[in-house]
Structure formats: C-alpha cells, structure tokens
Structure 1
Amino acid sequence: MGMFDKLKSALTKTKDVLRTDVRDLFKAGVILDDAKLEEFFRGLVTTDMGVVAAQSIVDELKAKFGGRTVEPDDVWGVVKGKLKEILRGEGDCNWDVTDPLSPLNLAEEGPTVILVCGVNGVGKTTSIAKLANYLQKAGKKVVLAAGDTFRAAAVAQLTMWSERLGCEIVTKPAGTDPAAVAFEGCDRGVESGADVIIIDTAGRLQTHQNLMQELGKIHRVIGKRIPGAPHESLLVLDATTGQNGLSQATKFSEAANCTGIVLAKLDGTAKGGVVVAIREKMGIPVKYVGVGEQIDDMELFSPDDFVDALFSDV
C-alpha cells in the first residue's frame, strides 16, 4: 500500500466511530440546526480530538451554515479545512511530504542526535527500530544507544533490532547511568561518521519526578558532547491512550524539551483524533505515525493526508 492507503487503513477504527455517529447528519437539503450541531460535536469528541477543537469546528459550521439548508460537500469542506488549520499550527508542520526526513531538525555539521522518551509500554523500542529503518532507507548511517539500562529485556530487544537492521548499537551493563550510555553513544557516532544517533531512554511514568529529572540530565550530557544536541527530542505516545496522552506530553515536554511526537499504534484505536487534541493543546507537532506492526509501518505525518484519510469514507 502507498502512504495514503496505509493511513486510511490505520484510521479504520476512528473512521468507524465517525461513520456511526455522523454519517447521516448532513444530507442534502437538511437544515443545519443546533440539535444536529450538538450531535456532531459529540461524534467528534468520541474520537478524542478534544472539546476545544471540536467546539471550534462546530462554531465555524454554525457561523457559515447555521439555520440553513446544507450541501454535505460544503459542510465536510469546512470541517476538513478547520482540522488541517489546527494540525498545521504556526508553520512548524509545513514540511515536504515527499521527503521522509523533512520533519527532522538535522544538524548542519556532524551527526544529528535524536533523543527518544515515553512511558512504559507505548511501543518506544519498536518505534525507534522503525525510525532507524526509515532513516537508513533514506541513505543515513545510524547508531543506536540503548539507554534503558533498567530493563535487560529492553536492551536485548533493541540489540535484536540493530542486528536485523545492520546498524551499530552501544550498550552498557544493567544499572549503568543512562547519561553515560548517551554520552558514549554520541562518542561512537562521531567516531564512526554516523549521520544520526538515536538514544533510547527508560520508559517512565510522567509522575516519577526523579526519573523525569534524569531525562533532563541526559539532555544536558548529550549537549556537552555534541553542541546543539539533541537536535530532536521525540516523545512516543500510544494512540490508544487517547486524552491520557496529553498529560504525558505536558510532563515529558517540560523534562526533555520535546520537539515532536511519534504516535504509535494508530492502527489499533478509535481515538485517532487525539492527534488534534495534542496539537491544539500542546503545540507539539506529530512528526511520524505508526500504522502497523511491520518494520516498514511508519509514515511521515501529513496534516492534509491525515484529515483526508480520516474523512475519506464518511
């Protein structure tokens, strides 16, 4: 499948919610009254896009069509236009969708360092593997650093992926200071002439203050070894958590200065609208989305494609 078809497939559960709740609301010649707008509002909120975004869409529909007979295409055009506007933000999401690396802030000289964080069980290790594969397919040499030294299984899993992908990995014994692993990963990346260094971190709850402070330490250590690094600080969120992801995004953004989000497991949820809520509340752009279980199932996030796919069969 092409990128758009993969996105449509991944959004199937979210689209099913929309079809169930709103498919018959806007028929040609029907008057758009408050009752229909309220029902539409509830349908949008069900996808977890958030009350604020849903209300802004309904307000715009009411301003343009309230009390009037409507044409469905006109209504959906306004809805899609408003969502694309929210997701594009202030211009930091207007990247080239034909260039898989365009969302990334690549270093002008030397290796680009990508710090990856997230709570336990969000699919962080798999997302790192997918990102490494994505970068290598774009011709970049990648070095991984296994900074989750709390769980031997996490190091083993990332090592397995590095072997499959054919990229180098830096590991240390269990209990090693994660900042030391990050520093050595940067060292190895510089020595080997890597284009990109991806640093994994231990999964942690956003409420664990000591572990959140550790993220800040890792961030500082990386910057001492490679000035200006990390160039990207990506937060992996599990799309199935819906609105709970907002609390994660807030706390991790404070600790690790998050520059973007990788939204994993988009194919397993009816809450795909959380992309909108994250963007509207946090201002952090979603840069990549996981759209399946295979190593190639990661796609660059395009606001236009996302919205078009979401409403493609409604």
Structure 2
Amino acid sequence: MTGTLIDADWGPLAQPLHADIPDDPRPWRDNAFLCFWDPAQRLTGVMHLSASPNATGGRRARVSVRLGNSTVEVIEELGLETWNSESITFEPDSGFSVDGPGLSGSLTFTPLHALAAFAGEHSPKAFALDAEHPLHHYQRSARVSGQLTVHGRRVEVDGFGYRDRTWGFREESASVQEYYGTMWVFPELSVSAIRLLGQDGHTAAVGFVCDADGTVPVTGMSIVRDAAGLFLATRVDRAEGDPLEVSLVERYGTFWCPMGQAQQAGPTLSAYDEWGSLRTADGIEGFGLLEQGITRQLF
C-alpha cells in the first residue's frame, strides 16, 4: 500500500480550470467527469465537462440522469475559460448544480477511498497525443448527496459515485483504437482501472485498487462480454493480493460518452458507460460503471 490517507481535500481534482492557451496546434483539453448512483432510487447519472482553449468544437457541458425508466440530458456549449454553461455550474471542490429543461438540483461529492493518480508509469499513454507530454489524470471514489428533480419528480440522493479529472494534449480518435475502464465502489474498496489499445498497436492496463489506507497498482485486466459486446465479468490483477474477480448482477442502463468534436469526418471514438450492480467472487456487493470505447474507422 502507498501512504495516501483519506481526507476531505480533493487535491488535483479540485484545481482551477487551466485556461492558458498552449503554443501548439494540437487539441488541449481540461476535462471533468463526475458520475453518481443511488440504487435504492434506481438513479444513475453523470456530469461531464470538456473545456479547451484551442479546440472550440469539443467544448461542452453535459448532465445525464436516469431515474427508473425516465431519462433526461442537458447538453450545452461552453465558452472560453469556463466550465459553467447556461444551466450547469461546477464547483471543483464540492460538486455541481443544474437548472435546465426537465432537470434541476444539486449534488455534493465528498472523498471516499484514496486518490488514484495516473502519473509516471501509470499514465494512460494511449489517451495522450505526445509521450513527452503525458496527461495529468486523477480519479477518486465519493459519497454523493443532494437532491434532483427529474421531469417533475424530486428525489433525495444518498449514494456513491466517482470523480475524474484530466488535462493535457488529448484527441482520442487519433490515439485510441479501443479501451474499457472501471469506476466501481464496494464497501471497503474502489476500483479505478483502464485497459487500452493504442493506434500504434500497444496495449496496457493501468490503474489502482483503492481503500481507506491507500492504493495498490493494477497489473492486468481481462473482460468477458455477452453476445452484444456488453460487460458480464472481469478480472483485475493487482501488485499485492489475489486477483479481484467481479461479475455483473444487474445492468441499469447506458449513456453515451461524447469526447470529440461536435462533427467529425474520419475515424471517431465512440464510447458509452454501462451501469450495473456487481458482485465479487467472495460475494461482496458493489455498484458502478464500466466504460467501453472503440474508434469507428469507416467514413
């Protein structure tokens, strides 16, 4: 275990927006991703922001929520040097609020398990455009509370979630062939792990199993899918301890995860989040999302 201790400070996840324009024509992005769930309410959702000082077609703010069988999304453009859109306000040290068509309310996130810092040898290189300038990438599990009103139905949220923050040179359609990644929370641990296939053909599994005392690096991953390619089970190998084997109990639905330009002619990354209740081989219950992405090649 590393020596990371749990506290109320989000650390790099709460850094202010990086708005300096880099002296480089390649897309530079500062992205924030917050996902949340309350299975007792049959509620899942995500807030996803993509800010950029030099990639205007990819700046957007999005909040997507599913409550039972009802789904609502608020998707808006972002201006320069801001994470806030007309209806969505992001507070990096706490959470977000939204007041849009069919969806309003606010959620507060507090740290749960240790911070997963994807740096150095753990940097997701397939997402970066330049090996000499690796992405800054961080994830951390959370307790989530607040209230949301979805199509007139108000719910008090008392659940869990994840925060994700990435900044640097980034254009997934140019660098990634395929990937899948987990944001899973169990009572005593959370799993932040990604397996990637880069456009140059290299594969890598990076990430961490996190608990209240620190993190253990992930050394390998494998996945089992159903006939439609959706997630059924995975095995996560870690540097310390036995492999973690996790199976899907119930799928709660999916959301698309747009990352690139508003319109693209050419190879385009297509990604989505699968939500579900989970169970380990030891019978421990959990919940979270598994994201899968693949670059569509025909155009």
TM-score range, shorter chain: under 0.3
Highest relative contact order (Cα 8 Å, sep 6+), 1 or 2?
A: 1
Q: Which has the higher helix share?
A: 1
Scaled by the length of structure 2, what TM-score is found?
0.28
Q: Which has the higher strand share?
A: 2
